[in-house]
Amino acid sequence: MEISQKVCLITGASSGIGAALAERLGARGGILALAARRPCDLHGAAGSVHAVDLSDPGEALALADEVLERHGRIDLLVLNAATRVDGAVADVALDDLDACFQVNVLSPFVMAGRLAPLMAARGEGVIATLVAPKVSGGRRGMGAYAASKAALESLTQTLRQEVGGKGVAVFAYDPGWVKTDLAPDGKEDPGVAADRLVAHLEAAKGSREILS
């Protein structure tokens, strides 16, 4: 897919991989719709900035409608926002567990559910989720985060089956252990992970496998 003049909605765009991705898509002429709890920088590119708290799926759905109203369509949806909750299964507070699943699973669910049919009707679009296969199979001390990422993988593959034959490329992307707010001990620069993701977005191919 040619990025130029495509409307690109990125969640979690204020830092880390999301910010690096926005910079790269903007440099390719993408029309950016950047969503985050914190202020985002458009890097001089055309587009819009949207303050949203994805711990409320209602705000996620409103975000999708807001971007559609502003730009008329969404061509690329990158579901990058995430929150991490650490702790043994027996120790995770209900509020923390709820927030983890709201941000990591339920908000992506409702946004994809709103936008995928519109992409399918046009016969074109890309939806990418950011997953964590190294932990989603289960990880001691990270039960809430691991389970939410496993659910996101499942959602991605279900969505691919539903709209993949209608011109919409759906794939899950594993950025690896990147140095971000969620992983201060990460080994890779967010820009490197963003470069690989851009290549997958441009290829616009759905996948049963998790791309990296």
Whether residue 173 lies in the annotated active site: no
The answer to whether 152 touches 133, Cβ cutoff 8 Å, is no
The answer to whether 95 touches 137, Cβ cutoff 8 Å, is no
**Integer Cα distance of 107 and 81 in angstroms:** 10
| All residues at 6 or more sequence positions from 16 whose CB lies less than 8 Å from its CB, including other chains | 178, 180, 181, 182, 190
Torsion of CA 40, 44, 50, 54, to 10 degrees: -50
**Integer Cα distance of 36 and 15 in angstroms:** 9
Tell me which H or E stretch contains 154.
helix 143-163
Catalytic residue among 101, 109, 145, 173: 145
What sign does the CA torsion over 66, 1, 203, 159 have? positive
In the numeric block, which tokens belong to residue 206? Answer: 């759905």
| All residues at 6 or more sequence positions from 59 whose CB lies less than 8 Å from its CB, including other chains | 52, 53, 107
What length is written for the chain?
A: 212
Nearest to 132 by CA among 80, 181, 91: 80
**What residues act catalytically?**
145
